[in-house]
Amino acid sequence: MYRESPIIRWRRYPERYRLEGNKCAQCSKIYFPKTYLCECGSKKFLPHQLKPRGKILTYTEIKSSPEEFSEMTPYCVAIIELNEGPKITTQIADCDVSEIKIGDEVEMVFRKFLASGEEGIIHYGFKFKKVEENIVN
């Protein structure tokens, strides 16, 4: 189902680890990942560091994964809308898929992904986790 894992894509884009986007100098629309042509037609952008907060738009549980990630299954991958507008695909850390609801507030955390192969290389990157104070009832 997932031919290219989001995790692999993140590794290819180091700026994703830092939530580095850009902002149109004309209309102030924020983009992440960066773009070089705004929908308003402008090509002038300013660097913009996104705030590491957002909410869950949709999510799915990954029960079977490439062998490399199998020790992490099951895990949850969600589309998050960052508070400033851009949408990203990310893994949700530290929770049961049954605890996740659409609209949940999440914040970025820096996590170990996995120790790969015999060398035990550890990869780090970001995931999102639910914001604690959002858990009522």
What are the residues binding Zn ion (CB under 5 A)? 24, 26-27, 29, 38, 40, 42
Q: Pick between residue 45 and residue 75 the one whose CB is nearest to Zn ion.
A: 45
Q: What is the closest distance, in whole angstroms, from the C-beta atom of residue 52 to Zn ion in the complex?
A: 23
Q: In three state form, how does the secondary structure of the chain look?
A: CCCCCHHHHHHHCHHHHHCEEEEECCCCCEECCCCCCCCCCCCCEEEEECCCEEEEEEEEEECCCCHHHHHHCCEEEEEEEECCCCEEEEEECCCCHHHCCCCCEEEEEEEEEEEECCCCEEEEEEEEEECHHHCCC
- Shortest separation between residue 84's beta carbon and Zn ion, angstroms: 14
- Shortest Cβ distance from residue 106 to Zn ion (Å)? 27
Nearer to Zn ion, 27 or 122 (CB): 27
- In the bound state with Zn ion, the residue whose beta carbon lies nearer, of 42 and 89, is 42
